[in-house]
Structure 1
Amino acid sequence: MKERFLGALLVFLGACSFGVLSSIVKTAYKSGYSLGQVTGIQTFFGMIILWAIYAIYHLIYKPTVLPPKTIQGNRLWQVCLAGFFPGLVGIFYYQCVQLIPASVAIILLMQYLWISVIVDFLIFKNRPTKNQILTVMMIIFGSLLAAGIFNQNMVINIKGYLFGLLAALTYSLFIITSSRVGNQLPTLKKSALMITGACFITFVIFPPIFLFKLGLNDKLYQMGILLAILGTVLPPFLFSLGIPKVGISLGAILSTAELPVAVIASYFYLKENVNLSQWLGVVCILLAIIVPNFIPHIKQRKV
């Protein structure tokens, strides 16, 4: 029981660390930093930290069996290429955060939930179940409420909304590719390779000239380390420890903490206006995710 509680706590904390990212990014923008600087410094420090952790782990716990070099080489390239998607997620999402309230940006990112269902059907021909279709409809309705579509007083930034949906699309592609490539590699190595790919695509789009212009005491480095730890290093680590203890279904429920945490952080820390319809939309989205995952547990107990 204690182990299950610890696992639930780890997953919850991992989701919470994801949830505060948008507020930190907003703070970076207010300090005068650009999109390229924020995304670049996060992926750069994330890559350094993950490879450092992997190197230390590799020295302490030396692997006894290594896959053939040719197979390993192919997997390395695949994982690096798959890392392009989280790199693009960061660029699109942080651009969205720059244009619209953080409390709305997180709602748009959560659209990956139903986009993943569509992508899975179009590419892998996996037909969605009735429960999935009902979940998708609830998520879309809740998102319309939470994004303020029905609020006549709210000014809608089309460009910001488009970047939010692009972030959701690339996030869904990241989830799908991540589940299919590099699964035979150690978790730490796979994560390090993915963030290397993310850093590469970020620096291709935004050349890291700023790294040679900023002083060592610049505030951007502090924010970059914080973003890297909370957004790149900590969540995957906590999820990898917690989800095996609680199971995938409960893990999926607990990971939704990212949504209310992001909205609460934007309300209290950024002082953004979050009206009643937006809170109702958030609740609707959470119910759409929690109920389908919770029902099987109830049925198992009855049996």
Structure 2
Amino acid sequence: MEKLKGGIAVFIGAASFGILSTFVKKAYEANFNLGEVVGVQALLGMAILWMIYLSLKLFKPNKLQKYPSKSSKLKILISGFSTGAVSILYYQCVQLVPASIAIILLMQYIWIGMLIEFIFFKNKPSVKQLIAVVFILGGTLLATGLLENQDGNLSIPGIVYGMLAATAYSIFLIVNGRVGNDYPPIQKSAIMITGAFILVMSILQPISLFSKEVFTGILPYGLLLSIFGTVIPPLLYAYGMPKTGFSIGNILTAVELPVAISMSYFILHEYVSLWQWIGVIFILAVIVWLNKPKKSELLS
């Protein structure tokens, strides 16, 4: 039962990530710019996470006392720059290419993360992982429509931003797994998103966000982006991942891909060809195969 509850939590968290690109597209259609969209998500996400943490500290302090919290808060804050970079690069990508393409580009974090682990941590990928990378790249050619796109309509800068976003996401996952694990997840998330907010304000400087007219107009989008992108996924992952285990958890997080594609198709009315759907299914199959748990994990 606990494993089932954990699986449902991870599934919902991943699905929440999957709907972000649709909200971002809608915000752009309402004439808000990149700085305002990323800025309001970071601002509201930071405020909500800190309010949750302070409420727990005030009313349920025992839930926080089991964590030693000895590592440097500054290190956690700086590691939050990676999640800020993901938002900036990914939302810029969403501005330049269809949302259904942007999520495919972001999914390249799978093999980029392996490459980073090998270069910086000398973690040599297995033969199975290398085979998976080849198949993922093949599925990406289908899923992005590059083989069908003969007239060159796909934005090259958009592709570059998407790949940079995937790289930043890989760094975020690697850093997140190594930094601040001795802190309560809610406090760690709050510190990291504070770092993201600092990065966003330093690079994009969305001063217009603090005008009453802009803030009240973008507030509905900001609440959706912060709740579904900043608050729900980290909390559900922190609850669910230890219960499901890494392998099953990783498979469940892949639901982000079909959710994003489906939202772009049904809500944004973006064209998604049959070959692109086949590419998406192919990538999902590779992710499942790559993370297929052993029988002992399934029975535990």
When structure 1 is superposed on structure 2, of 216-225 and 163-172 the one drifting more is: 216-225
Q: Residues of 2 paired with 1:218 and 1:189: CA distance?
A: 28
Q: Residues of 2 paired with 1:18 and 1:66: CA distance?
A: 27
5 Å-filtered alignment, 1:21-60, equals: 21-60=20-59
Q: Residues of 1 paired with 2:298 and 2:106: CA distance?
A: 34
- Asked whether the equivalents of residues 148 and 154 of structure 1 are also in contact (C-alpha less than 8 Å), the reply is no
Structure 1 counterpart of 2:198, from 197, 200, 210: 200
- Asked whether the equivalents of residues 247 and 293 of structure 2 are also in contact (C-alpha less than 8 Å), the reply is no
Quick check: 1:120 aligned with 2:117?
Answer: yes
Quick check: 1:7 aligned with 2:21?
Answer: no
Q: Residues of 2 paired with 1:157 and 1:259: CA distance?
A: 20
Q: Residues of 2 paired with 1:6 and 1:65: CA distance?
A: 22
Structure 2 counterpart of 1:269, from 257, 267, 270: 267
The Cα offsets for residues 15-51 of structure 1, whole Å up to 9 and x where unpaired, read as 1110000000000000000000000000000000000
The Cα offsets for residues 110-165 of structure 1, whole Å up to 9 and x where unpaired, read as 00000000000000111110011011111111111111110125612100000000
Residue in 1 that maps onto 2:80: 83
Query: RMSD between aligned alpha carbons?
Result: 1.9
Between Structure 1 and Structure 2, how many residues are aligned? 296
Report the alpha carbon displacement of residue 245 of structure 1 after superposing the two structures with TM.
2.2
- Asked whether the equivalents of residues 79 and 182 of structure 1 are also in contact (C-alpha less than 8 Å), the reply is yes
- Asked whether the equivalents of residues 142 and 282 of structure 1 are also in contact (C-alpha less than 8 Å), the reply is yes
Residue in 1 that maps onto 2:294: 296
Amino acid at match of 1:140: L
The Cα offsets for residues 224-275 of structure 1, whole Å up to 9 and x where unpaired, read as 0110000000011111222222221111111100000000000000000000
- Asked whether the equivalents of residues 54 and 189 of structure 1 are also in contact (C-alpha less than 8 Å), the reply is yes
Residues 124 and 218 of structure 1: CA distance in aligned 2, closer, same or farther (over 3 Å): same
Structure 1 counterpart of 2:276, from 278, 283, 290: 278
5 Å-filtered alignment, 1:55-66, equals: 55-62=54-61, 63-64=64-65
When structure 1 is superposed on structure 2, of 112-121 and 202-211 the one drifting more is: 202-211
Residues 204 and 300 of structure 1: CA distance in aligned 2, closer, same or farther (over 3 Å): closer
Residues 230 and 58 of structure 1: CA distance in aligned 2, closer, same or farther (over 3 Å): same
Runs of 5+ in structure 2 lacking a partner? none
Quick check: 1:258 aligned with 2:256?
Answer: yes
Q: Residues of 1 paired with 2:110 and 2:159: CA distance?
A: 16
Q: Residues of 1 paired with 2:297 and 2:232: CA distance?
A: 33
Q: TM-score under structure 1 normalisation?
A: 0.93
Report the alpha carbon displacement of residue 185 of structure 1 after superposing the two structures with TM.
1.2
The Cα offsets for residues 186-208 of structure 1, whole Å up to 9 and x where unpaired, read as 11111001000000000001223
Report the alpha carbon displacement of residue 6 of structure 1 after superposing the two structures with TM.
2.2
Amino acid at match of 2:285: L
Q: Residues of 2 paired with 1:148 and 1:216: CA distance?
A: 36
Amino acid at match of 1:96: C
**4+ residue runs of structure 1 moved beyond 6 angstroms?**
299-302
Quick check: 1:97 aligned with 2:133?
Answer: no
Residue in 2 that maps onto 1:156: 154
Residue in 2 that maps onto 1:228: 226
Amino acid at match of 1:133: L
Report the alpha carbon displacement of residue 66 of structure 1 after superposing the two structures with TM.
7.6
SS at match of 2:294: helix
Report the alpha carbon displacement of residue 7 of structure 1 after superposing the two structures with TM.
1.9
SS at match of 2:192: helix
How high is the sequence identity, in percent, across the aligned residues? 45
SS at match of 1:218: helix
Report the alpha carbon displacement of residue 65 of structure 1 after superposing the two structures with TM.
7.1
Q: Residues of 2 paired with 1:300 and 1:65: CA distance?
A: 27
Q: Residues of 2 paired with 1:11 and 1:300: CA distance?
A: 17
- Asked whether the equivalents of residues 80 and 192 of structure 2 are also in contact (C-alpha less than 8 Å), the reply is yes
- Asked whether the equivalents of residues 67 and 184 of structure 2 are also in contact (C-alpha less than 8 Å), the reply is no
Amino acid at match of 1:148: G
